[in-house]
Amino acid sequence: MTKPAPRAGWPTPFRPRISASFSYRLHAILAANGLYRRVAARLERAPRAYRAFTTVERVSKERLYGCRMCGQCALPTTGYACPMTCPKQLRNGPCGGVSPDGNCEVHPEMRCVWVIAHERATAAGHGSDLGLLHRPVDHREHSRSSWINYWLGRDDELATDPRSRPLLPIVEVS
Ligand code: SF4
């Protein structure tokens, strides 16, 4: 039986079009600072400029990384492979269905995006990023600019090192 083609718009694993090492260098240029924070705050106060800026972000990141505009970008911690292109949109590593050759359970002809993330991050010396724990996606941020959110500090706790803090508060049950 032939497998139906993925439905348009549904997430499918995406192999980034630019290298991880170049992306890390780019990130260093775009790292949050006072100037970017002021620019981001001004853009948020000007709806037309915000929309134009967000369009540029969407078009460029869609083409380079398969971005789906979740508005809370995980790329710097995943070897610049977008976890939102995982058909299950898993942000904390692959599901249990990855095939022994590293392909996706949902699209067996494609490489699992988390395998791609692992290959890219380790090759660029950022393998330890993959141990970070990501908070759940806030879908209210969908279609908003992740660059602006990042510059305004909204991503500060997007991913944490689970070894640096208890995962859950201890609740006494009487
Ligand atoms: S903003 Fe979200 S959807 Fe876009 S590349 Fe980053 S993680 Fe992926």
CA geometry: angle at 23 spanning 22 and 26, to 5°?
A: 90
Measured from the Cα of 146, ligand 1's closest atom is 1
Which residue's CA is minimally distant from atom 7 of ligand 1? 73
- Ligand 1 center to 71 CA (angstroms): 7
Distance CA 68, CA 15 (A): 14
**Does the structure show a pLDDT above 70 at 61?**
yes
Confidence of residue 172 (pLDDT cuts 50, 70, 90): low
11-54: pLDDT as tens digits = 999 999 999 999 999 999 999 999 999 999 999 999 999 999 99
What is the DSSP track for 44-100?
HH-HHHHHHHHHHHHHHHHHHH-----SS--GGGTTT--GGGSTT--SSS--TT--T
With a Cβ cut-off of 6 Å, ligand 1 is lined by: 61, 65, 67-70, 73-75, 82, 84, 146
